[in-house]
Amino acid sequence: MADHGAEETTTAAGVLLFMRHGETEYNRRKVRCGGDVDIPLTELGEAQALEAGLSLRASGVSIDTIIASPLIRARRTAEIVRDAAGLACPIAFHDGLIERRLGDWNGMDIGATQPMLDAGERPPGGEDEPEFRRRIGLTLAEILEWGHALPLLVGSKGVARVLSLALAADQRGPARNAEVMRLGPPAEGWRDLLGI
């Protein structure tokens, strides 16, 4: 394994917060919604984001930047959270935080497609798991190098899953809508694990 030195110790020793976007109609229907589908939050999703932002405000956590997927569900979640939390920090949008592209599997029942994902199949017209991990890994490396004290990343469930492979997570299992996770520091060999 390569020694990457100080790169792994920036961004408050590699600690960050991650929030999954609020509910979308596809989430409500329990169907696949990849990064190649751009849909808004439901009314419940907006309320979830508001509640999460108010909880962050009450916690007194010192977030110094928000970095979100540019998809409307993540973008809107980030905006609601920033306002509700009373944060004066900027929101940056990063294409690397877009959910895995699922091609023809978008809109399909989650249960019906899970065995194919578990078997490592590539969705027709989508990304395979190694491509997705590598994209998230390169994005994480870039964000860690920016040196923010405590960034909040806003994205989708698959992004949270891959980040949890690279960074120690305060929980296990899929991220729920508008749930905040504390991630970091980086796990030993995280770059190799994500293929970067």
Annotated binding site for substrate: 20-27, 73
86-97 exposure pattern, b = at least 16 Cβ within 10 A, e = fewer: ebebebbbbebb
DSSP three-state, residue 144 = helix
151: three-class secondary structure by DSSP: strand
Buried b (16+ CB within 10 A) or exposed e, 155-169: bbbbbbbbbbebbeb
Alpha-carbon distance 159 to 175, whole Å? Answer: 10
> Which amino acid would we find at residue 140?
L
Among residues 21, 79, 94, 145, the one annotated as catalytic is 21
179 contacts: CB under 8 Å, gap ≥ 6 = 19, 20, 52
Nearest Cα residue to 31 out of 124, 108, 104: 108
Q: Out of 4, 46, 99, 145, pick the active-site residue.
A: 99
Active-site residue, 4 included: no
Q: Which residues are documented as binding site?
A: 20-27, 73
Q: Is there a contact between 169 and 183 (Cβ–Cβ < 8 Å)? A: yes
Annotated catalytic residue 94: no
Q: Which residues are catalytic?
A: 21, 99
